[in-house]
Amino acid sequence: MKAGALDCLPKPFNEQYLLDRVHRAVELDAETYQRKVRQNDIAARISSLSKREREVFDGIVAGKTTQEIATSLELSKKTVDSHRASLMVKMRASSVVELVCSAMEARSPAPQRV
């Protein structure tokens, strides 16, 4: 639909149907807004990472082990662990799963309207 229209109303329209559709449109707008706020927050956290932390972050999100990241970046495993600990704090993630979920959420497109 054009210009963000959510639905078409058949004529003659039912008042309850109209109210239901308006309510749903408001709900969708609130959900979209909250999702965008969260994505912006995650993007700000990612941009706060140093270049090396970002490289380690990208490796983690790609599913690489610490040793694989260390080898690809030509660093020691201990250095990668240090960057990893630092980026986990900056990203406010308590686990790798939470970190990866945040990365996926930051990259996901806006939800489709229903």
Give the per-residue pLDDT at 9: 75
Domains with residue ranges and CATH for the chain = 14-107 (1.10.10.10)
Give the per-residue pLDDT at 114: 46
What's the whole-model pTM score?
0.74
Give the per-residue pLDDT at 112: 53
Q: CA–CA separation, 60 vs 71, rounded Å?
A: 13
Q: CA–CA separation, 55 vs 63, rounded Å?
A: 13
Per-residue pLDDT of the chain (114 residues; tens, 9 = 90+): 456 676 777 777 788 888 888 898 899 889 989 999 999 999 999 999 999 999 999 999 999 999 999 999 999 999 999 999 999 999 999 999 999 999 998 887 765 554
